[in-house]
Structure 1
Amino acid sequence: MANWIDLFSLFATIAVFGGIIYGVLYLVNSVSQGVASTKEALANKGLHISDKGVSVKTSKRFDREDYVDATQRGFIKAMNAASFGHASSSPQSIGRSDSNSSLKKKNRHD
């Protein structure tokens, strides 16, 4: 026959495991609610996330002329950033001077 200590141990064990299970379920529920609210906030901004990937909603359509203009702007920015063709980037004439070792050789031969 089980005495009161055995029954108390049984109920304490059930309470501990029940508390752990409740905590895990609460944590999973709060994480899933956080993910759902984040998805909803991103959907309001135009990003739709699903298990297949991310889709972006834009309010503007680009035609061929818009793409050509953007490409030309990119080329112009790249040319302006390049160092060739600018007057300020022309090579400076570097003055020639003898090194210490060549000066020592000249002094020995003199």
Structure 2
Amino acid sequence: MASWIDLFSLFATISVLGSIVYAIIFVVKSVNQGVNATKESLKSRGLDVSASGVSVKTSRRFDREDYVDATQRGFVKALNASSIRKGDGTTTPVPLAREHSTSSVASSDGSKKKKKGAFGGRK
């Protein structure tokens, strides 16, 4: 026959395991509720999140002409921002003077040094 200590140990073990299972179920339910609330708030903004991906709800349809117009506007903005047409001859470009650094002057004296390899050894 089992003593009262054995019965108490059984009851304590079942209680601990039951509380662990309850805590896991509670956490999973709360995470699922948070995900569902987030999906609903995104759905009210026009984004529908599902297992297959995200779909965006727009208020109107775009046809080919709308896409072509948007592309042309982008090209015109890029052309206006570039300096291709800005040199119309009214201003003369200033040539840049080339200055030699001390390392390039020192290495251009004709003497060749052996370079080290990738791991510090000589090639």
Question: Shorter-chain TM-score: what band?
Answer: 0.7 to 0.9
Following TM superposition, by how much is the alpha carbon of 1:73 offset from its aligned partner in structure 2, in angstroms?
1.1
Report what 1:59 is aligned to: 59
Alignment partners' CA distance in 2, 1:75 and 1:42: 33
Following TM superposition, by how much is the alpha carbon of 1:96 offset from its aligned partner in structure 2, in angstroms?
7.8
Alignment partners' CA distance in 2, 1:66 and 1:51: 31
Alignment partners' CA distance in 2, 1:56 and 1:70: 19
Report what 1:3 is aligned to: 3
Report what 2:31 is aligned to: 31
TM-score (norm. length: structure 2): 0.69
CA RMSD of aligned residues (A): 2.5
Alignment partners' CA distance in 2, 1:7 and 1:16: 14
- 1:82 partnered with 2:85: no
Aligned residues: 98
Alignment partners' CA distance in 1, 2:92 and 2:12: 86
Q: Structure 2 vs 1, CA of residues 91 and 28 (structure 1 numbering), >3 Å: closer, same or farther?
A: same
Where in structure 1 are there 5+ consecutive unaligned residues? 102-110
SS of structure 2 residue aligned to 1:54: strand
Where in structure 2 are there 5+ consecutive unaligned residues? 100-104, 106-123
Sequence identity percentage: 61
Alignment partners' CA distance in 1, 2:58 and 2:28: 33
- 1:16 partnered with 2:16: yes
Residue correspondence of structure 1 range 89-104 to structure 2 within 5 A: 91-94=93-96
Higher helix share: 1
Alignment partners' CA distance in 1, 2:68 and 2:7: 81
Q: Which has the higher contact order (CA 8 A, sep 6+)?
A: 1
Following TM superposition, by how much is the alpha carbon of 1:17 offset from its aligned partner in structure 2, in angstroms?
0.2
Q: Structure 2 vs 1, CA of residues 85 and 14 (structure 1 numbering), >3 Å: closer, same or farther?
A: same
